[in-house]
Amino acid sequence: MSVEKFTAKTPNNKPSRAEAEAAVEVLLRWAGEDPSRGGLLETPARYTRAFEEFFSGYGEDAAKELSKTFDDIEGYDDMVIVKDIEFTSHCEHHIAPIIGKAHVAYWPNKKIVGISKLARIVDIYSKRLTSQENMTRQIVDVITDTLEPKGCAVMIDADHQCMSIRGVKKTCSSTVTSSFSGVFKNDAEIRGRFMEMIKS
């Protein structure tokens, strides 16, 4: 599998900030509000700034984050797991929040990476409009392609507010996705140990 490439170049047709704020004002009016009332005067500007934060992952390169590696493994031959990485994303269908936790593991081969980088790539992929399935696969792909480990495993458990606060309104539901490569995919015992370790 190859890492899904993303260009951070600004498209020529990207709207200006003023155009983005005007679009928010249109949505407020469409909802039945008066954008000129006191409480909403600064809302278009605030919402546009919030969008910059929500979707900052479009301007970042996950593979580059993993490019600084270390080769001083000194005989370590087992999985490395970072559990309970909290994230907030937004679904590409309703732009509604996805709030959850990711568990990321890899089995080093010749290169190791700082553990904070594993959390960092979760942030990068979560701060884009996405589906949980794609986000799970993208994290595995970038670790597999960049670090060339013996294997990688990712599990994500998240609340999709597009179905908990709207639509079917199932407030207690959660969605679980997983993706595996290398030894995690081919060895049921290793995969099972990963599953047990993220539960403990």
Catalytic residues: 91-94, 132, 160, 162
105, β-bridge pairs: 81, 153
177 vs 137: CA distance, rounded Å:
9
35 vs 90: CA distance, rounded Å:
25
Rg of the chain taking only CA atoms, in angstroms: 20
Phi, psi angle pair for 149, to nearest 5°: -80, 175
The answer to whether the CB of 182 falls within 8 A of the CB of 151 is yes
